[in-house]
Amino acid sequence: MVCINCQKDYLFDNKDFFAGVSFLSGMGDKDFHQAPMTEVLDEDEIVAKYGRGALFAAGLIVDTRKGFDNLWEACSVAQMPPEYQGEISDLRAEWIRRFKKFADNYFMKDVDIVYHLGALARIQPSFKNPANTLEVGILGTMNILEYAREQGCKVIFAGSSSVHSGKLKNPYTFSKVVADDLCLLYKKHFNVDTKICRFYNVYGPHQLTEGEYCTVIGIFENQYKEGVELTITGDGEQRRDFTHVDDIVEGLILTAQSDNFEIDIVELGRGNNHSINELAKMFGCGHTYIPERPGEARVTLCDISEAKENIGYEPKVNIGDYVKEVISE
189-232 pLDDT, tens digit each: 999 999 999 999 999 988 888 877 789 999 999 999 999 999 99
State the pLDDT at residue 285: 92
Mean pLDDT calculated for residue range 11-33: 42
State the pLDDT at residue 96: 81
Buried (b) or exposed (e) across 92-102, using 16+ Cβ within 10 A? beebbeebeeb
Between strands 194-199 and 154-160, the pairing is parallel
pTM as predicted: 0.72
Check whether 316 has a pLDDT greater than 50. Answer: yes
Higher pLDDT, 145 or 112: 145
Q: How confident is the model at residue 34 (pLDDT cuts 50, 70, 90)?
A: very low
142 closest CA partner among 105, 178, 90, 98: 178
Asked whether the beta carbons of 249 and 289 are under 8 A apart, the reply is no
d(CA 241, CA 201): 6
* Type of residue numbered 318: N
Average of per-residue pLDDT values in the chain: 82
State the pLDDT at residue 108: 54
Phi, then psi, of 155 in degrees rounded to 5: -120, 125
* Largest pairwise CA distance in the chain: 62
Span 146-155, pLDDT tens digits: 989 988 999 9
The hierarchical CATH code for the domain 114-199 is: 3.40.50.720
Domain boundaries, the chain: 1-110, 114-199, 202-245+271-329
Mean pLDDT calculated for residue range 34-47: 46
Torsion of CA 39, 43, 49, 55, to 10 degrees: 100
> Which residues have CB under 8 Å from 140's CB, separation 6+?
118, 119
d(CA 82, CA 88): 9
Q: How confident is the model at residue 12 (pLDDT cuts 50, 70, 90)?
A: low
State the pLDDT at residue 301: 97
Q: How confident is the model at residue 72 (pLDDT cuts 50, 70, 90)?
A: low
State the pLDDT at residue 242: 97
Which architecture characterizes domain 202-245+271-329 according to CATH? Alpha-Beta Complex (3.90)
CA atoms within 13 A on the CB side of 181: 10
Q: Report which DSSP code applies to 165.
A: G
286 closest CA partner among 325, 228, 236, 327: 228
DSSP string over 63-114 = HHHHHSSSHHHHHHHHTS-GGGS-S--HHHHHHHHHHHHHHHHHTSSS--EE
State the pLDDT at residue 71: 65
Asked whether the beta carbons of 193 and 151 are under 8 A apart, the reply is no
State the pLDDT at residue 315: 97
Asked whether the beta carbons of 20 and 56 are under 8 A apart, the reply is yes
Mean pLDDT calculated for residue range 268-284: 97
- Supply the Cα-derived Rg of the chain in whole angstroms: 20
DSSP string over 228-272 = --EEEETTS--EE--EEHHHHHHHHHHHHH---TT--EEEES-S-
| Residue 249 CA: distances (Å) to CA of 21, 154, 273, 319, 329 | 16, 17, 20, 16, 25
Asked whether the beta carbons of 263 and 308 are under 8 A apart, the reply is no
